[in-house]
Amino acid sequence: MKKLKSYYLLIIVIVILVSLPSCSKSSTDSSSLYTPTSADVTSNATLPELQQGRTLYINNCGKCHGLYSPDSYSSTEWKSIMNNMAPNTGMSASEILLVTKYVTRGN
Ligand code: HEC
């Protein structure tokens, strides 16, 4: 009986260990996300804003799933995605704006 109990304990520990990384892993390598250059600057976004947005995006948006490529969605789609996803993060309104500028390429 004692042996059976420790088996259960072992199984529980394994289940916890296996499920833990699923919320901290990002499947997309951040090196595949574009690095802003002066060519990406628009009337809506300066180079420092795009660079900060990239860093904030990497640090805040890959906790539950991989980092989606900015090219995967239109800027209209990104704006509604940001409305849905930003509350999942602890970002301030100004940080959310920077991430939005990055993923929409300043559009
Ligand atoms: C607390 C966990 C969590 C965080 C943090 C998070 N997301 Fe998500 N995200 C989800 C879940 C769960 C889904 C899938 C279900 C859904 O679409 O609501 C998802 C889906 C997505 C999708 C796919 C939407 C679609 O329609 O295909 C995108 C793009 C996305 N997230 C972007 C982001 C961005 C950008 C951030 C940072 C601002 C972010 N996520 C932060 C949990 C999270």
Q: What is the pLDDT of residues 43-78, one digit of tens each?
A: 999 999 999 999 999 999 999 999 999 999 999 999
Kindly give the distance from the C-alpha atom of residue 102 to the centroid of ligand 1, in angstroms, as a whole number. Answer: 16
Beta-carbon neighbour count of residue 68 at 10 Å? Answer: 18
Separation between Cα atoms, residue 101 and residue 65, nearest integer Å:
20
Minimal-distance CA residue to ligand 1 atom 39: 61
Say how far residue 70 (Cα) sits from the centre of its chain.
11
Q: What is the pLDDT of residues 8-49, one digit of tens each?
A: 766 555 554 555 554 444 456 777 899 999 999 999 999 999
Q: Which residue out of 88, 94, 102, 105 has the highest number of ligand 1 atoms within 8 Å of its CB and is therefore the one to mutate?
A: 88
Q: Which residue out of 27, 56, 59, 81 has the highest number of ligand 1 atoms within 8 Å of its CB and is therefore the one to mutate?
A: 81
Amino acid identity of residue 44, one-letter, is N
Which residue, chain included where needed, has tokens 């997309």? 28
State phi, psi for 2 to the nearest 5 degrees. -65, -40
- The answer to whether residues 4 and 25 touch, using CB atoms and an 8 Å cutoff, is no
